Amino acid sequence: MTQDAAILRIDPRDDVATALVALAPGDSAGGVTVRGEIPAGHKLALRAIAKGAPVLKYGWPIGRATADIAAGDHVHSHNLATALQGLEDYAYAPQAPEPLAGSDASFLGYRRTDGRVGTRNEIWILCTVGCVARTAQRIAEAAAKRFAGRVDGVIALTHPFGCSQLGDDLSATRKMIAQLAGHPNAGGVLIVGLGCESNQLGPLLETLEGVAPERLRAFSAQMSEDELEEGLACVEALVAVAEQDRREPCPVSDLVIGLKCGGSDGFSGLTANPLVGRIADKVAGAGGTAILTEIPEIFGAERLLMARATDAAVFDGVVKVVDDFRRYFIAHGEPISENPSPGNIAGGITTLEEKSLGAVQKAGRGQVTEVLRYGDRATCPGVVLLEAPGNDAVSSTALTAAGATVILFTTGRGTPLGFPAPTLKIATNSGLAQRKPRWIDFDAGTIAAGQSMDTAADALMRVVLAAASGRQTRAEENGEREMAIWKRGVTL
């Protein structure tokens, strides 16, 4: 990596560098004279690139030049386009695993009877169907006041589905709710049903695994004389059990972290994402688990993950989940490169390859040990790949259902949204951190200003351990807790 006050070049093979500050015509940077306005976070051509030639960043192609590019030019959507198309052929070519220095630190967590460790001891109120979503919220609001201070919180996690769903779509909704009901951050769970929905309460309860009877309550609102009072009575019984739980010292090997980025910008792949990759290495190196998702946002960088598969079966799993997602786009008549978003583009990201190569850095350097389908739960330490789309709420809910007890969420544009597991927002640039201090938990923009990655990683690890030990994240302080389900099937 080559950096001066104006630009950062990631790999010596790169044709472009990222502007750390806004550049004007006539400025000198990277040994070239700037030929046009280049906003901070956008790309500067370091050498001439012929039309049709691949453009390299991160040492990998991020697309092809759509026009001749001169050294000093601004490289963006006007002269660079994706080269991604349809399905691709992959060959298993494993790399030797890199040794990881795990963290020997600890945090204060709640050890559950199945051995998993929660970072919160909350009462979660779930619903079978969107018709009783507001009922669940009303119960949670009243219970949070009535039982304040006895547990870490009473939270309603609701969704609009569960009725008029069929087949695999209905099964996915049921599975997602069941996995959340068994999450270690929930010291008790109340499931509120309606009575006539497709997602019937009885079949849902039959799918629950490892949830102790004393930590579970459920009822159908149609069969209740007063659903609010019945709900509060259920929560009171759950609180009486959960308030006996105590935090205890737990090693980092007990951590399961979710890795997510949203509202990325040109700094994401330079600061926050590789920084989170250092945390993933500390956790995985200690025997913990780091879960990466957003499959459409690894297109163009999937070979980096495939090369890190622990064996051929895991490699095949990565290929299958990538190919299935590409087919999902194609079947709906959409190009697989329908990304980055308008906010990403404004922040300096031009193509999906560029976004993906930055995004996969959140997974660090550890081996990929397991591939999960949507709604599955992680069972292996190391880096785990989870099937889910890029949508922030859908993928973060899937990360929680897969077992993540803390989510590390990098962002260059900012978002107030919070998710079922405590979510740390990590700003890719200091401007965002200074502008939105009530949203942002950590400023990774200091790396662009010259702070070493090691120093920043040590600081972020302390923040992660504090959150895992009970310190509220900004989203929790703001009452931002949402879930979302990926709906792919027919609605009746």
Cis peptide before 422 (omega within 30 of 0): no
Hey, what are 458's tokens? 């040590």
pLDDT string in tens for the chain (492-residue length) = 566 778 999 999 999 999 999 999 999 999 999 999 999 999 999 999 999 999 999 999 999 999 999 999 999 999 999 999 889 999 999 998 888 988 999 999 999 999 999 999 999 999 999 999 999 999 999 999 999 999 999 999 999 999 999 999 999 999 999 999 999 999 999 999 999 999 999 999 999 988 999 999 999 999 999 999 999 999 999 999 999 999 999 999 999 999 999 999 999 999 999 999 999 999 999 999 999 999 999 999 999 999 999 999 999 999 999 999 999 999 999 888 878 889 899 999 999 999 999 999 999 999 999 999 999 999 999 999 999 999 999 999 999 999 999 999 999 999 999 999 999 999 999 999 999 999 999 999 999 999 999 999 999 999 999 999 999 999 999 999 999 999 999 888
- What pTM did the predictor assign? 0.95
Bridge partners (DSSP) listed for residue 372: 386
Provide the 10 A C-beta neighbour count for residue 152.
23
Hey, what are 155's tokens? 């939270």
Residues in CB range of 405: below 8 A, 6 or more apart = 109, 117, 118, 119, 120, 183, 184, 185, 255, 256, 257, 421, 422, 468
> Measured between alpha carbons, how far is residue 4 from residues 379, 449, 488 in Å?
43, 10, 47
